[in-house]
């Protein structure tokens, strides 16, 4: 009569086989080595052309510096604050007044918007941080639903800013 493995023994053996396979697969897999950021000297000389100096070859091999935003981050934050303020009267009427009518305290709700704009000044991401000491979940939910995407003057690059905002 053949002897059968118990369920716990079968699970233990199966786990050991999987662990061994993972270990051996990772051990013999491709190495996680970062590529050498320095270009080969010959490639730099070829890019510069025949008869070029070493300095010319280095300039040809050097990557171009990343483009900086054409508008400073603080200016983008000011423009975003103005864009949010333009929606304040509608948000007070739609979100704040009904909440105050139901419960008077806290009188002021405070937030910080995390807004990312693309190079053309259109909102591509927005987050909202609520001040816990002045929390009103019903106002926050309404604010998230009622506030349309904001736009600013084109900054020339993607820019993320934090903008304080409060109601009323």
Provide the domain count of the chain.
1
Q: Which residue has the higher pLDDT, 91 or 66?
A: 91
The values of phi and psi at residue 126, to 5°, are -150, 135
Q: Indicate whether 121 belongs to any domain.
A: yes
Q: Is pTM beyond 0.85 here?
A: no
Q: Indicate whether 34 belongs to any domain.
A: no
Q: Indicate whether 13 belongs to any domain.
A: no
Which residues, 6+ apart, have CB-to-CB distance to 110 below 8 Å?
Answer: 130, 131, 134, 164, 165, 166
Q: Indicate whether 22 belongs to any domain.
A: no
For the purposes of burial, counting CB atoms within 10 Å of the CB of 97, is it exposed (0-12), middle (13-18) or buried (19 or more)?
middle
Q: Indicate whether 102 belongs to any domain.
A: yes
Q: Indicate whether 26 belongs to any domain.
A: no
Which residues, 6+ apart, have CB-to-CB distance to 126 below 8 Å?
Answer: 113, 114, 115, 116, 149, 150
Q: In the prediction, which pLDDT does 21 show?
A: 76
pLDDT tens digit string along 22-34?
777 666 555 555 5
Give CA–CA dist 13/148, Å, rounded. Answer: 57
Q: In the prediction, which pLDDT does 62 show?
A: 54
Q: Indicate whether 45 belongs to any domain.
A: no
pLDDT tens digit string along 36-74?
555 544 444 444 455 555 555 555 555 555 555 456 889
157, 69 Cβ separation under 8 angstroms: yes
Q: Averaged over 101-128, what is the pLDDT?
A: 91
Q: In the prediction, which pLDDT does 45 show?
A: 45
From residue 75, give the alpha-carbon distance in Å to each of 16, 120, 154, 157: 59, 15, 11, 13
Q: Indicate whether 65 belongs to any domain.
A: no
| Domain membership of residue 142 as a residue range | 73-167
Q: What is the mean pLDDT of the chain?
A: 79
Least confident range from 27-41, 78-92, 114-128: namely 27-41
Q: In the prediction, which pLDDT does 59 show?
A: 54
pLDDT exceeds cutoff 90 at 148: yes
């Amino acid at each position: 009569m053949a002897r059968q493995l118990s369920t716990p023994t079968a699970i233990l053996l199966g786990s050991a086989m999987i662990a061994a396979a993972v270990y051996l697969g990772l051990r013999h897999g491709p190495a996680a080595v970062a590529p050498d950021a320095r270009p080969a000297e010959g490639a730099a000389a070829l890019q510069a052309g025949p008869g070029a100096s070493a300095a010319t070859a280095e300039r040809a091999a050097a990557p171009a510096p990343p483009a900086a935003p054409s508008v400073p981050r603080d200016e983008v934050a000011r423009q975003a604050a103005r864009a949010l303020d333009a929606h304040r009267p509608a948000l007070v009427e739609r979100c704040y007044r009904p909440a105050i009518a139901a419960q008077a305290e806290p009188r002021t709700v405070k937030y910080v918007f995390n807004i990312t704009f693309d190079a053309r000044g259109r909102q591509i991401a927005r987050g909202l941080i609520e001040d816990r000491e002045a929390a009103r979940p019903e106002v926050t939910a309404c604010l998230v639903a009622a506030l349309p995407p904001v736009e600013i003057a084109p900054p020339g690059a993607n820019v993320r800013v934090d903008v304080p905002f409060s109601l009323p």
